């Protein structure tokens, strides 16, 4: 009880009773680590499904006149592919998944602020996911992931299901966002000041308000679309006085910040992996942390760059163009700082590190084409073409998904106590890297030369490159298959990792893998940044973590 | 050394971007298209030069600073935390670059916006799934092709009759959405005669991908006038016919209802339910079309009978609900139509 | 672990755990109110957008709003804000009976507001010009926004009723009354939203 006295028995010291029984432990668990893993598993299942839809897209596009599925079905396929990848895969993986799993450990907390809400927001997610996929049974949405009315008002019944499903995912995200903000503000270990937080925590801290605020705006848009479709209440239908462009404002006011929801946590992952394997402090810690906040803030002010062709007045478009350019500056700071982090390092090439470096290389391409798109005259040419598809996959697959893979290789030992197989990992990386570039690079010129997006058939002059992309995408599928095989194999047979296989210095690595349900025996005290490899670890109170001694207050509170 | 190599590569990339024969792949049909090309060259040159440096250093550092077998296993890198000067410059230089880019792109954008105001007015109206055009200054008849005379400024007003479409002519490097209830305008001056595809770039329904079959014809003034006159005459002759009607009735003999039923579930259920008329999916519900006294007149205004249903199936129909594809775009043979009608006739 | 279960110890000291839990909940609750506020803001944006995109406002053929009536109804709602404030203050100062009376007054006023709204809806729907949810952008935005607000008031009334029952059962003590604080915050939030809604629908 000595420790409890020192810390006066506050919530930080509070230890939940150990969950008993399978259901309380693994199904309706309150433990942020288990919830994180639940998110990761569920999201990967949805990833397989929406990846298979992606391969259906590519198979259809092998031939200029399609033929794999009917045009109507094709539209359903890419709409669900886009929606599912965004809302059921990348966002849950990066926030609910890695966020839950890692950041409470990194700030030295025993759990998030509201474990019950955490469980609730997890359980909403698979339900919503099943709803989204079940829309195939009643005619899935066809108007893309942005469902512009009026065409989405004509869509089959599944479009309403889509609204409801995305609304629910949104509720789940909002709860997660609130939970994370409060956790980071209130539950940091003593001494864990804002300027000592690991960068992954900063990534989550910048993302959580976006989850909280932007997602609610989307909820309003979805609710309006839903009631318009179901009850004929006019918001968007121009024949009844509504405005289709208003949907675009409401949708993009969420969905532009959403792209930063999908990248800021990935930035965080990269900022953890790079210093660990380069054996060097991350370069420019403060600017990296600050730029995440700047990106999150600027992210709210640029939504209309998706609407340059929808007839806004020019004087309204101008500020959006320039603010969008400006986002390149904080993002550039990150890219340059990461590159500089490698300078003078002793780089160990684990698979996680390969993915991290690949991330920088590929995301930068997507970012630079993003800046191109922000230039109105250029966007007037390529909006609605495969150039956009290229941009979005470079940032989302080359960026977010690569970040997810880096995170998986990096934190898998923390989840399971075993390492992923590195040989398979490296095969995965290289096949994925090559397959990815061959799939999405040609889309840039296809778009510039006249291939519109969301088409089931296309002009025969584009046949060669489309076939090339499709074949390359099969290679990518194969690479991902290797990844799944690796995960399934390593859970049982992987090499045991021990608490800290990478010699990393953030708090989560100072405790056993997988951690005890109470995370820390004693809440540590922090007196410095984690990334300084020449110094001893900047933590006090961790001595007993790796011993067999029981946690001191476990019996006390209850 | 590395810097020098990267600089050479960057210069090569810049030269490549500025000499690449873009117009060979994509002609510049209007005056401002060449300005947009300038912007493309500027951005791809600076973008690739930037990328060469970022990726170049990334790869160089990644190789040069790898842990070597000779290193102690716990060897650490140089412990640099930051460098104010460096961070200052890589904030300020991109900011300056943003400034330059803003100036360049605003200049080019203004060229596009400031095209002459009072050119030849053309109205393009998006439909599911084609564009129709009007020339209100000539006499306002609806045409299904867009022609514009060379070197004459054009004011193109875009709107839509149903859902949002995108009006894109790649050779113009210009597009705008056609939004129902809203008129948007683009102005341009054609500079190069030719036929250029018009492509729809907003998803607008099942046949969105087919909405790239029309062309913009840029031709000299004399041919333009000739074309328009010809159109007027043709239009006078066929004005009351169904669009594309062949006049030849399809034989409905030997329709096989079972085959029709199978075909219906493949080709029609995307738009029609077998439900009462008012249960609209895209088109009306078709339950008992031919036998339900409550069923209103067919979309073409006639009381329902097999021949007219066949004609709708053959020619398609566009009305208030949207567009019903024609037999050719739905891939129906006359026999298919006969089968379908036979099937619809069994619905009571 | 419920808040109530963490009792103060025999000497009336509130334990650390409760204090911190309360802080967490307060912060979480404030963040929830912020996101709720975004929900309203989005619909308000939609309303203003539609209002300004059309052919003049209000659109022809709708029932005019009865501003005077709505103003009186607003007074009722704002009155309930005041009583809620006093309820909390009295609870803090230990005047339990006064607290209960103010709380009950709040509930009555809140219900009164809802009744007024029902009357107003009735007037619109069955008035001279039928104006309902689906009958144009005015109906759409008016009924969606005020309906959403009314739903908030209704949930608030339910919550306050629960508070009454809980208080009667002695759940809240001098040191532990987060439930009441949250209720007050929520109620004020609903009031403030109404100020905005009243201005944009009735005044401009
Ligand atoms: C995070 C987001 C994300 C991700 C990861 C991806 C991944 C991929 N995407 Fe997607 N895509 C979008 C987001 C994403 N996409 C969005 C938002 C759109 C726009 C939609 C719209 O227009 O509305 C889009 C649209 C889009 C298009 C354009 C469609 C069109 O406009 O007509 C194409 C075309 O090639 C495409 C391809 C791919 C491919 C090949 C992958 C590949 O990287 C996928 C690779 C993954 C797999 C192949 C899974 C492998 C699984 C296994 C191997 C397991 C085996 C299965 C079982 C055991 C069940 N995508
Ligand atoms: C993870 C997701 C993600 C991310 C991070 C981004 C990042 C950016 N995006 Fe992207 N975007 C999408 C996902 C994303 N985007 C999606 C899904 C769509 C399509 C939606 C749809 O229609 O379906 C889209 C569409 C889209 C459009 C609309 C195109 C159109 O439909 O017409 C635009 C236009 O401005 C744009 C711009 C940008 C910009 C400027 C950035 C910037 O944040 C990028 C910043 C990064 C860099 C600039 C690179 C590194 C910087 C340097 C090396 C420093 C020096 C550089 C400069 C100062 C210029 N994006
Ligand atoms: Cu018209 Cu797409
Ligand atoms: Cu954006």
**Interchain CB contact of A144 with B (< 8 Å):** yes
**Confidence at residue A547, expressed as pLDDT on a 0 to 100 scale:** 84
pLDDT in the model for residue A11: 64
Q: How far apart are CA A81 and CA A75, in angstroms?
A: 10
* Residue, of A218 and B335, whose pLDDT is higher: A218
Closest-CA residue of chain A to B107:
A377
Beta carbons of A452 and B212 less than 8 Å apart: yes
Burial class (CB in 10 A: 0-12, 13-18, 19+), C196: middle
Question: Which chains reach chain B with 3 or more Cβ–Cβ distances below 8 angstroms?
Answer: A
Indicate whether B298 pLDDT > 90: no
Q: Residues A273, A278, A281, CA angle at the centre, nearest 5°?
A: 80
Neighbours of chain C (3+ CB pairs under 8 A): A
Show Cβ contacts of residue C69 under 8 Å, excluding neighbours closer than 6 positions. C116, C119, C120
Is the sign of the CA dihedral B266, B269, B275, B276 positive or negative? negative
Sorted by where each begins, the domain ranges of chain C are 32-203
Best A249, A290, A346, A446 residue to mutate vs chain B (most B CBs within 10 Å): A346
Of chain C, the percentage scoring pLDDT greater than 90 comes to 52
Residue C168 has pLDDT above 50, yes or no: yes
A365/B109 Cβ within 8 A = no
Residue B235: per-residue pLDDT: 63
- Domain membership of residue A133 (yes or no) is yes
Q: Hey, are the CB atoms on B75 and A328 less than 8 Å from each other?
A: no
Identify whether the C-beta of residue C196 lies closer than 8 Å to the C-beta of residue C38.
no
- Record: contact C24-A113, CB cut-off 8 A: yes
Q: Could you count the other beta carbons within 10 Å of the beta carbon of residue A124? A: 18
* A1 found inside a domain: no
The minimum CA-CA distance between B310 and chain A, rounded to whole Å, is: 23
Residue B200 Cβ inside 6 Å of ligand 3? The answer reads: yes
Which residue(s) pair with B199 in the sheet?
B168
SS3 state of residue C30: helix
pLDDT exceeds cutoff 60 at C6? no
Domain count, chain A: 1
Is B257-344 a CATH 3.30.200.20 domain? Answer: no
Decide if pLDDT at C58 tops 90: no
Q: Helix, strand or coil for residue B272?
A: coil
pLDDT band at C144 (very low <50, low <70, confident <90, very high): very high
Query: Is A346 within 8 Å of B87 when comparing Cβ atoms?
Result: no
* Among the listed residues B205, B238, B178, B199, the one whose alpha carbon sits nearest the alpha carbon of residue B318: B205
Residue A124 lies in a domain: yes
C37 CA distance to ligand 1 centroid (A)?
35
- For the entire predicted model, the pTM comes to 0.85
Closest CA to A332 of B95, B9, B43: B95
Most confident of A357-361, B160-164, B214-218: A357-361
Name all residues whose Cβ lies below 6 A of ligand 1. Answer: A 48, 51-52, 54-55, 57-58, 78-79, 81-82, 85-86, 89-90, 144-145, 389, 392-393, 396-397, 400-401, 439, 453-455, 473, 476-477, 480-481, 484
From chain A, which residues contact C within 8 Å (Cβ)?
8-12, 14, 113-114, 117, 174, 177-179, 181-182, 185-187, 212-213, 215-217, 219-221, 224, 227-228, 231-235, 240-243, 246, 249-250, 253, 557
Test A285 with B81 for CB contact under 8 angstroms. Answer: yes
pLDDT value of residue A558:
37
* Count of CB pairs separated by less than 8 Å, A with B: 254
Task: Specify burial of residue C23 (Cβ count, 10 A radius: 0-12, 13-18, 19+).
Answer: middle
pLDDT band at B320; cut points 50, 70, 90: low
- Is pLDDT of B247 > 70? no
Do B60 and A261 meet the contact criterion of CB atoms below 8 Å apart? no
Q: Report CB contact under 8 Å: A377, B39.
A: yes
- Tokens linked to C95: 């005047």
Q: Tell me the per-residue pLDDT of B169-190, one tens digit each, with 9 for 90 and over.
A: 999 999 999 998 888 999 999 9
* Residue A556 included in any domain: no
CATH number of B120-234: 2.60.40.420
Residue A7 exposed, middle or buried by CB count within 10 Å (0-12, 13-18, 19+): middle
Q: What is the pLDDT of residue A72?
A: 87
CATH number of the domain bearing residue A421: 1.20.210.10
Say how many CA atoms lie within 13 Å of C186 toward its Cβ. Answer: 24
pLDDT of residue B242: 36
Lining ligand 2 with CB less than 6 A are: A 146, 259, 262-263, 305-306, 324, 327-329, 331-332, 335, 364, 367-368, 370-371, 373-374, 379, 383, 388, 391-392, 395-396, 399-400; B 50, 54, 94, 97-98
Asked whether residue A35 is domain-assigned, the answer is: yes
Q: In angstroms, what is the span from residue A460 Cα to ligand 1's centroid?
A: 23
Q: Considering chain B, what percentage of its residues have pLDDT values greater than 90?
A: 41
Fold of C32-203: 1.20.120
Which atom of ligand 2 is found nearest the CA of A379?
Answer: 32
**What average pLDDT does chain B have?**
84
Q: Is C50 close to A240, i.e. CB distance below 8 A?
A: no
- How near does any CA of chain C get to the CA of A94, in Å? 21
**Closest residue (by CA) to atom 16 of ligand 2?**
A392
CA angle A364, A370, A376 (to 5 degrees): 155
From the DSSP assignment, how many helices (H) and strands (E) are in chain B? 9, 12
What is the maximum alpha-carbon separation in chain B? 92
| Distance between CA atoms of residues B32 and C166, nearest Å | 72
Among residues A437, A410, A433, A432, the alpha carbon closest in space to that of A422 is found at: A410
pLDDT band at B249 (very low <50, low <70, confident <90, very high): low
In A, which residues are within 8 Å of B35 by CB distance?
377
Residue C131 exposure: Cα atoms within 13 Å on the Cβ side: 24
- Note down the domain range covering A492: 26-540
Which residues of chain A fall below pLDDT 70? 1-13, 552-558
Q: For ligand 3, say whether the CB of B124 is within 6 Å of any of its atoms.
A: no
Atom of ligand 2 lying closest to residue A145 CA? 23
Mean pLDDT value of segment B281-294: 75
CA of A397 relative to ligand 4 center, distance in Å: 16
pLDDT at A478: 96
pLDDT at B244: 37
Q: Taking CB atoms and an 8 Å limit, are A216 and C42 in contact across chains? A: yes
Beta partners for residue B175, in sequence order: B168
């Amino acid at each position: 009880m000595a420790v409890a006295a020192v810390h006066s028995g506050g919530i930080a010291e509070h230890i939940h009773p150990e969950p008993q029984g399978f259901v309380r432990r693994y199904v309706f668990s309150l433990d942020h680590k288990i919830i994180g893993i639940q998110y990761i598993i569920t999201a990967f299942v949805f990833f397989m499904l929406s990846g298979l839809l992606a391969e259906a897209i590519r198979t259809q596009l092998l031939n200029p006149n399609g033929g794999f599925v009917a045009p109507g079905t094709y539209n359903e396929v890419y709409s669900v592919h886009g929606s599912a990848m965004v809302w059921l895969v990348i966002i849950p993986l990066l926030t609910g998944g890695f966020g839950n799993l890692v950041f409470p450990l990194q700030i030295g907390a025993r759990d998030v602020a509201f474990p019950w809400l955490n469980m609730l927001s997890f359980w909403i997610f698979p339900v919503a996911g099943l709803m989204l996929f079940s829309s195939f049974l009643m005619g899935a949405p066809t108007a893309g992931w942005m469902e512009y009315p009026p065409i989405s008002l004509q869509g089959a019944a599944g479009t309403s299901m889509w609204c409801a499903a995305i609304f629910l995912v949104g509720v789940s995200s909002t709860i997660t966002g609130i939970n994370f903000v409060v956790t980071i503000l209130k539950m940091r270990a003593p001494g864990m000041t804002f300027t000592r937080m690991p960068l992954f925590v900063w990534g989550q801290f910048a993302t959580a308000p976006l989850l909280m605020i932007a997602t609610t705006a989307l909820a309003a848009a979805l609710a309006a679309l839903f009631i318009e479709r179901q009850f004929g209440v006019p918001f968007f239908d121009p024949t009844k006085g509504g405005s289709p462009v208003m949907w675009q404002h409401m949708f993009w006011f969420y969905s532009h910040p959403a792209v930063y929801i999908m990248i800021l946590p990935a930035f965080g992952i990269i900022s953890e992996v790079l210093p660990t394997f380069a054996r060097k402090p991350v370069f420019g810690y403060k600017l990296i942390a600050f730029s995440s906040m700047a990106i999150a803030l600027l992210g709210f002010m640029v939504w209309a760059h998706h609407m340059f062709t929808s007839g806004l007045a020019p004087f309204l478009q101008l500020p959006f163009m320039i603010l969008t350019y400006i986002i390149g500056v904080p993002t550039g700071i990150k890219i340059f700082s990461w590159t500089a982090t490698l300078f003078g390092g002793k780089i160990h090439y684990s698979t996680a590190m390969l993915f991290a470096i690949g991330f920088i290389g590929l995301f930068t391409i997507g970012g630079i084409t993003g800046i191109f798109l922000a230039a109105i005259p250029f966007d007037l040419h390529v909006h609605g073409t495969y150039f956009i598809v290229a941009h979005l996959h470079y940032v989302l697959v080359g960026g977010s998904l690569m970040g997810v893979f880096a995170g998986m290789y990096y934190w898998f030992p923390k989840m399971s106590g075993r390492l992923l197989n590195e040989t398979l990992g490296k095969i995965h990386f290289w096949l994925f890297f090559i397959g990815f570039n061959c799939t999405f690079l040609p889309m840039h010129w296809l778009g510039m030369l006249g291939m519109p997006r969301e088409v089931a058939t296309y002009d025969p002059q584009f046949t060669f490159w489309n076939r090339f992309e499709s074949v390359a995408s099969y290679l990518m599928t194969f690479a991902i298959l290797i990844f799944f095989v690796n995960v399934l194999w390593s859970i049982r047979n992987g090499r045991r990792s021990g608490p800290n296989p990478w010699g990393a210095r953030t708090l989560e690595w100072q405790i056993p893998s997988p951690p005890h349900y109470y995370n820390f025996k004693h809440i540590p005290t922090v007196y410095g940044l984690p990334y300084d490899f020449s110094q001893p670890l900047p933590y006090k109170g961790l001595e007993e973590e790796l011993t067999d001694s029981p946690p001191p207050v476990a019996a006390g509170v209850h | 050394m590395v810097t020098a190599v990267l600089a050479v590569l960057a210069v090569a990339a810049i030269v490549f971007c500025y000499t690449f024969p873009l117009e060979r792949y994509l002609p510049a049909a209007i005056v401002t298209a060449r300005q947009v090309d300038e912007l493309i060259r500027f951005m791809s040159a600076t973008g690739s030069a930037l990328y060469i440096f970022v990726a170049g250093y990334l790869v160089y550092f990644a190789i040069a600073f790898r842990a070597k077998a000779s290193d102690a296993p716990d060897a650490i890198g140089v412990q640099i935390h930051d460098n104010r000067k460096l961070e200052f410059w890589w904030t300020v230089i991109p900011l300056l670059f943003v400034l330059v880019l803003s100036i360049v792109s605003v200049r080019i954008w203004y060229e596009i916006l400031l095209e002459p105001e009072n050119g030849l007015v053309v109205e393009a109206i998006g439909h599911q799934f084609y564009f129709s055009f009007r020339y209100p200054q000539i006499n306002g008849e609806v045409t299904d092709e867009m022609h514009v005379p060379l070197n004459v400024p054009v004011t193109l007003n875009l709107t839509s009759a149903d859902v949002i479409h995108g009006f894109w002519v790649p050779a113009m490097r210009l597009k705008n959405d056609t939004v129902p209830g809203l008129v948007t305008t683009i102005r341009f001056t054609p500079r190069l005669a030719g036929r250029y595809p018009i492509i729809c770039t907003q998803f607008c329904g099942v046949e969105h991908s087919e909405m790239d079959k029309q062309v913009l014809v840029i031709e000299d003034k004399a041919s333009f006038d000739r074309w328009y006159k010809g159109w007027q005459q043709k239009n006078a002759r066929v004005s009351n016919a169904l669009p594309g009607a062949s006049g030849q009735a399809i034989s409905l003999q030997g329709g096989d209802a079972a085959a029709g039923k199978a075909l219906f579930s493949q080709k029609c259920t995307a738009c029609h339910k077998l439900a009462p008329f008012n249960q609209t999916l895209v088109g009306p519900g078709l339950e008992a079309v031919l036998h339900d006294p409550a069923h209103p007149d067919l979309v073409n205004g006639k009381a329902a009978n097999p021949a007219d249903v066949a004609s709708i199936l053959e020619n398609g129909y566009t009305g208030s609900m949207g567009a019903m594809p024609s037999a050719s775009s739905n891939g129906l043979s006359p026999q298919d139509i006969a089968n379908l009608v036979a099937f619809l006739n069994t619905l009571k | 672990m419920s808040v109530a279960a963490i009792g103060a110890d025999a000497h009336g000291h509130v334990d650390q755990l409760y204090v911190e839990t309360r802080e967490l909940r307060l912060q979480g609750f404030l963040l929830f109110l912020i996101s709720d506020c975004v929900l309203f803001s989005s619909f308000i944006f939609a309303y203003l957008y539609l209002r300004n995109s059309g052919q003049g406002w209000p659109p022809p053929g709708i029932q005019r709003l009865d501003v005077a009536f709505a103003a009186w109804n607003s007074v009722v709602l704002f009155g309930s804000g005041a009583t809620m404030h006093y309820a909390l203050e009295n609870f803090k100062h230990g005047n339990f009976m006064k607290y209960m009376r103010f709380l009950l007054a709040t509930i009555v006023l809140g219900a009164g507001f809802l009744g007024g709204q029902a009357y107003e809806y009735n007037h619109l729907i069955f008035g001279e010009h039928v104006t309902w949810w689906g009958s144009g952008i005015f109906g759409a935005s008016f009924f969606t926004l005020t309906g959403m607000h009314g739903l908030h008031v209704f949930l608030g009334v339910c919550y306050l009723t629960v508070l009454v029952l809980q208080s009667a059962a002695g759940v809240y003590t001098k040191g532990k009354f987060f439930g009441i604080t949250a209720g007050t915050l929520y109620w004020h939030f609903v009031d403030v939203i109404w100020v905005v809604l009243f201005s944009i629908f009735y005044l401009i």
